[in-house]
Structure 1
């Protein structure tokens, strides 16, 4: 490693940064992870849903608080649609602090180094490496690395510093941890309507002995409202207030979500991962699974490139080629989300829910629906349900069918 302090510096020690550090370190690379906060897992800004495939990559099952098998989805006028079967696991709800700590611990055990209370203030790409200026516990230092990876979330310093551009869309979310909500074990609830979640939805997620209640929305449809105001409207809504009458808050969080990959996730000696690259799912806002997938798509060739110090933009473009399929899949999912939810007013949503509530449609949703792969279900709905076929005209069919 002549001339370099580290092979790879990772900005951000959340679950994606931690898992990236683990995968690279176990292949023999010298890895440094930078975390701007003084402890791992805080602040907590996520619903805490981790899909079974993502969980199996890290085997942190001890962090699971509850398992989710289904959902009860409410239309703007209160029409419920129940989907899922108790025998089929859909996703896990985890303690994010324990989960994040577990991902980072695996990296450290594989040989990675962690600096807390540390953040970059400058980075310059030179011919033989990246020179990174870091404020560590209040003191400035400089290090040289072959590769700089930005796994630093929606507000990514790496993305902004190297002018990668913006993800395609930003959503804003708010969530509270509450006790006193009475739900069905293993089933989350979702609420829709312009008053409480314009363009998207609100949720109540079982979280062990408590629940996580939140909303997310398109900023351009808030019309001067904050997400906290939407949350308050949900709790006081005539249709739902009895559900929330006994809840007591223990914590609350607010923040944006970035969806739609930036045009390029690479530059010479620099790569973006996870939320920093705009990898949140447009249908659920989930970012852990896509971030883990990205790591495993890129790691085999990336490790070779780091060892040989062949980290030109052209070589990284080749390595990142598998992500173009992910970009296309996320774009398809966004189009379908807009078609069925985000572009609809409450009357249109109500019409859609009437169709969703039919037994044949619920059966199709249960058979084809997959929280990790929503596109096949969306296309089947457009093809197989007569009332939805006319909606296909509003979509870019060539993009959907690829």
Structure 2
């Protein structure tokens, strides 16, 4: 019943009876119990029925719980807090390296955001922290986080849980969270897909039947380390990833420079390459690298669809998608559909919020 109230916002006793199959007296009794527990509250009246009486409406009590999502990366931290019904009550952005200084610094930003929302940190039922690295639940450690040096110690999750003892705290890879946002936004599409992340760092996420596949060490989807034709394997590749070296931000800027195009950033470089007809060979080569990486994934997991996501994918849009699809077709006789993400401009934070709300609701609704 609580899940139905989340889905439909408001329901009458008759609605509850119809949707659950419960008798009207049982539905009424259950609604009364939920109201007394503080999970459900009255919400006005619906349209007047045949008997001349307007039915009482019920909705989730938004103050019954709160969830927080935290996106930590070098130079910036973003925190979003929502009530249990899913309405955002506060969002804070800090443009500094403060959150990169470790869990305690990130926790301070969360506390500050709670203060601005008029909440106590103890009121948070769930906190999901996004990091640009792989989290191994078994060892409670992060990998591939050289850019977040003070997060590279054992028991990083335990430290966060000590800082927020009243909440259920989870750490998740940023691209995995983008995949959660994609699954949520693309309802009706297949829930088995590979999300190829083209952003400040190449990555990937594997979604199978609506569930993330994280691998044995939380490192599934680390596409930056794919070794494709044209990649060079050396000490730098071992650290940063062979694929990252030939399609990452520095390589993209270098590719634009070789084509005689000026660009201060990688997104500007991609835009310049796409806008210049004479740079078509450079674009084709870039997309060929993307296609080779995707083929490696298709050969192993055979996903129902491939999703291009991240800043570069959104910027490249249909032009980039079509060229990658053409390159894929030239390599493999049959490939799954290739699409550009339909998630919002903040897919990582959105995915963290979806995950955090799920954890918070399970916790609040089962107490």
Q: The TM-score by the shorter chain falls in which range?
A: under 0.3
Q: TM-score, normalised by structure 2?
A: 0.24
- Greater share of residues in helix: 2
TM-score by length of 1: 0.23
Greater relative CO (CA pairs within 8 A, separation 6+): 1
Larger radius of gyration: 2
Q: Give the structure with the larger strand fraction.
A: 1
